[in-house]
Chain A
Amino acid sequence: MKNKIKVYRAMHDLTQEDLAKAIGVTRQTILAIEKGKYVPSLDLAFRISRHFKVNIEEVFSYDEEVRTADIK
């Protein structure tokens, strides 16, 4: 799963801490999602995209290769 959280954060002038507080997770979780270390649940993905007032597909995109690597 690829994401553009970092881009949207920059556009909204938000730090990882700000975003984390706003959606009720830790800063480490935001960092892990941005770096592709953790794939968020659908619920969290929706919360993040709603926070930026965009559709979920605009923030997250499916990547077959990354998904396969994640399963292994």
Chain B
Amino acid sequence: MQKNIFYLVIGFVALALLLIFWYSIESFTPVLSMIAFVIGVVIIYVAYRKVDDFIEDERSARITEKAALRTFQVFWVCFCAFSIMAVMNLLYLPHFSREHWFDRASMPLSMEIMSPKMIGYVQLGLLCLMIFLYVGFRFYYARKYGDWETDEE
């Protein structure tokens, strides 16, 4: 398969997913979106493996590796920092705090900083941040390892 056909396949899959997501939201069938997403990713992966004219050498592998590592390093700090707050929020820590240990009546009824629904949204946002981080780091390392260098040739 040629590279251009692969890009066309990606376009078709994206369009199909968009339509399925739309239908899924309209008819409130979230499982449909989930299944469609997984199938879409599998189709793209299978198509990618059939492309002959992609040259992946050690430099491009290194760019991918570095970008993935840096993304992971930044993402896990952000995600864990937020998750610590979220877990404390969900476990309602004042129950264990020394301040209210002997006087349970003085304990505030709700110390909730963020609702569980909001926590879910923020975690979803962090996952989206991961994609942006990866793209950003990829550009950075591609530039560092001479992807946009020009030559007299």
Interface residues of A (CB under 8 A from B): 15-16, 24-26, 28-29, 31-32, 34-35, 37-38, 40-41, 43-44
CB-based contact A24/B149 at 8 Å: no
B residues within 8 A CB of A44?
Answer: 57-58
Knowing A24-B57, A25-B58, the reply to whether A32 touches B149 (Cβ < 8 A) is yes
- Measured CB to CB, the residues of B under 8 A from A are 55, 57-60, 62, 144-147, 149, 151, 153
Residues of B within 8 A of A15 (CB): 153
CB <8 Å contact, A25 and B55: yes
Write the nearest CB–CB distance from A9 to chain B, whole angstroms: 9
A25 touches B59 (CB 8 A): yes
Contacts of A16 in B (CB 8 A): 151, 153
